[in-house]
Structure 1
Amino acid sequence: MAGVAGTKHAAWGAVLCMAVTTSGCATLGSQRLEHDQVDYARSLDRAQKRQTLSNIVNLRYADTPSFLPVTQVIAAYSFDGSANASLTGSTIEGSGTAGTAGASIGYSNHPTFTFTPTTGEEFAAGYIRPLAPALVLPLVQSGVPIDLLLRIVAQSIGDLQNSAALSGANNSGSLGFFELIHTLRRLQLKGALTVRFERAESGNRVFLAIDPTRSDDDAVTADAVTARKLLHIADGTREFEIVYGAVPERGAKVGIVTRSVIGILTEIGAQIEVPEADIVAGATTPTVRLLEVETRPTIIVHVGRQAPPDAYASIVYGNGPQAQCYWIDRRDFDSKFAFSVVQNLIALAETSQSSKAPIVTIPAG
């Protein structure tokens, strides 16, 4: 009888184990959400960084950029289980009893990713049209250094020209442009420069205010005078509107010609180093050399046969023996920060598109 009892216990144990295990299915969805929301967000971030870096290198070699955002992520989980038990015996004394018990559990994950190519009007609106000053300048109030922002997004401010990859001998820009953005940065650090955003029926407007009275430092007053002189606005003017286009003929306004997303990526790509053999062969143009006042590229991109395993972002360009790795060093904070600003600008440009943000759907059953 001890054998019968033991077999019964084993059978009921298998059924009980299955019942306890399947009861955990009710909490599977919430448990997976805690992990998968972060994991998918990190994966999307890495993919976006690689896409941006790939487009920078593509444009450096006059290849067509591609924008393939992830519009949907579906993480489908299945959880299956079964249990069985059987007991056989005989009335003949000494024949004994026999029993079997078993349980099985199955778990699977089948993620589905949806990519939507950006083409036509959405491509033009998001990546070819220049970014509106009222769209990008409020980033200054979020802590983005104004010199970095203007260096990335502005092609010219008034009559001061930024570097331009396709401008021939004058592609390094004007000294006055870099003097202006450095002056504005010093005013920003001293709290003497602010940006004001205004919504209007005719379109959003953005204003820049320079107020040296916020600081007792004489250097701030001198910088305010220099900034107004370079911007061609009257002495004592504290606030002026930033508008797109050439220099306005009258009023407290400053004209700025902004770049498009493709223009931004092209200019950054023109500053990165490439193998000398590619330049000699005519595969790309020589690297744009900056002026003495601004000798560091906006983003330093390294090139070599192999990227370090801990690179901030890396891609491979080319095929076969000509393939090269391009990467951003994870220890280069300035390049990483500038790269994140570029990604934020791309995200702002995409707000005018009809496509929705990535969706993560995780069934809980």
Structure 2
Amino acid sequence: MKLVARMLLAVCTACLVTSCAHMGPTHLKADQVDYARALGMAKKRAILDAMVQLRFADAPSFLTVSQIIAAYTFDATVGTTLNEGSGAQPNYALANGSVSYSNHPTFTFTPTTGDAFATAYIRPLAPTLVLPLAQGGIPIDLLLRISAQSIDGLLNGTALGGSRSAGTPGFFQLIHAARRLQLAGELNVELRNEKGTNHVFLVITVPSDSQEPPGAAADRRLVKQLLHLPHDTGSFEVVYGQTATPGRIALMTRSALGILTDLGAQIDVPAASVASGATKPTVGLIGGETRSTIVVHSGSAAPTDAYVAIPFDKTVYWIDSNDFDSKYAFTVVQDLMALAEADTSSKAPIVTIPAG
């Protein structure tokens, strides 16, 4: 009888020890993805919230998740009861145990202020940060529509108002022609390191024969004409500024706050908010556009499957999960924000997950 009790105790203990031994790898596999998704969703909500706040002339604040500690507590007890019986009472052996489990994650947030705030959100993005995204497959027209203020004197539309808020027609002709050349494989972006400094070049293919995609020649001529580039050269350095020396392309980029302000001005807000003076009317479409860069809806409640949603002043703002173009443009903004924040002293968040 005692042997049976000892065997039961050994089996229960082995089961509990085995379950504890596998907790670490199991949580690592699950938590790594879960925390990554949670951080991504938090970033999306922060960006949309900043867009809405700027729409209402409210200064946004930015918090960086600097550390996540996933703390797990696992307690287990095991016991046995042995009764050898007497008389009519039968012999029996019992094994019992208890298990308790708790999870108490700790998040550390760091506010972005001072020089880090100025560097990340107020300083215009460098062309060497922005343009290489086009080489990664991002449509160059969308990238420039979001991040450029002007290209070689051609003005992008802006939410700041004024007589030239709609931009110049040449800007939109340029980015659309550049996109067609990009799709045809006739336009590329190259990042070169010369003497320890990064330089970015726009490379437009110089045709060597008559075998080229239809319309490419006309688009090539249009791009070079609008940018005042020589027709017998194919590689042009892009530099920051409003003007550049011959053979270079001057690109005035926006800051992260400038990007968010411009996108925020396109948000659909309740008519009552405009009537009360809380915000200005939504800017109209410019440059032959047929829709806003990112379509943000507003109402009393967001759909349950919204791509991202945030509440603000009794109204909910959201991006529809079925709006691929808005989601893709929002992803480009996330990429630009990440590049802007990369120059600050803030570090990537540290996620600590117990593994044993």
> Which category describes the TM-score, using the shorter chain as reference length?
over 0.9
Alpha carbons 1:11, 1:101 under 8 Å: kept: no
Counterpart in the other structure of 2:335: 344
Q: Does residue 42 in structure 1 map to residue 42 in structure 2? A: no
TM-score (norm 2): 0.94
Separation of aligned partners in 1, 2:232 and 2:89: 110
Per-residue deviation, 1:11: 6.3
Q: Does residue 170 in structure 1 map to residue 164 in structure 2? A: yes
Counterpart in the other structure of 1:64: 59
Counterpart in the other structure of 1:278: 273
Deviations 1:109-147 (A, max 9, x none): 111111111111111111110000011101111000000
Over the matched positions of the two proteins, sequence identity in percent amounts to 52
Q: Does residue 353 in structure 1 map to residue 349 in structure 2? A: no
Separation of aligned partners in 1, 2:141 and 2:131: 11
Q: Does residue 251 in structure 1 map to residue 246 in structure 2? A: yes
1:326 corresponds, among 317, 329, 338, to 317
- Helix, strand or coil: the match of 1:149? helix
Per-residue deviation, 1:356: 1.3
For structure 2, list consecutive stretches of 5 or more residues without a partner in the other structure: none
Map 1:87-106 → 2, pairs under 5 A: 87=82, 101-106=95-100
Evaluate the alpha carbon distance shift between residue 13 and residue 185 of structure 1 in structure 2; reply closer, same or farther with a 3 A threshold. Answer: same
Letter in 2 for 1:337: Y
Alpha carbons 2:4, 2:93 under 8 Å: kept: no
Letter in 2 for 1:125: T
Deviations 1:305-359 (A, max 9, x none): 11000000001111xxxx1111101111010000000000111111111221111
Corresponding pairs, count: 354
Q: Does residue 233 in structure 1 map to residue 229 in structure 2? A: yes
Map 1:299-318 → 2, pairs under 5 A: 299-318=294-313
Separation of aligned partners in 1, 2:203 and 2:12: 70
1:261 corresponds, among 251, 256, 263, to 256
For structure 1, list consecutive stretches of 5 or more residues without a partner in the other structure: none
Evaluate the alpha carbon distance shift between residue 87 and residue 281 of structure 1 in structure 2; reply closer, same or farther with a 3 A threshold. Answer: same
Map 1:111-190 → 2, pairs under 5 A: 111-190=105-184
Alpha carbons 1:240, 1:253 under 8 Å: kept: yes
Per-residue deviation, 1:173: 1.2
Per-residue deviation, 1:88: 5.2
Per-residue deviation, 1:289: 1.2
- Helix, strand or coil: the match of 1:79? strand
Deviations 1:17-73 (A, max 9, x none): 132222221221011111111111111111111111101101000111121121111
Separation of aligned partners in 1, 2:241 and 2:88: 103
- Helix, strand or coil: the match of 1:103? strand
Evaluate the alpha carbon distance shift between residue 16 and residue 231 of structure 1 in structure 2; reply closer, same or farther with a 3 A threshold. Answer: same
Letter in 2 for 1:231: L
Counterpart in the other structure of 1:242: 238
Separation of aligned partners in 2, 1:140 and 1:273: 29
Q: CA RMSD in A?
A: 2.0
Counterpart in the other structure of 1:197: 191
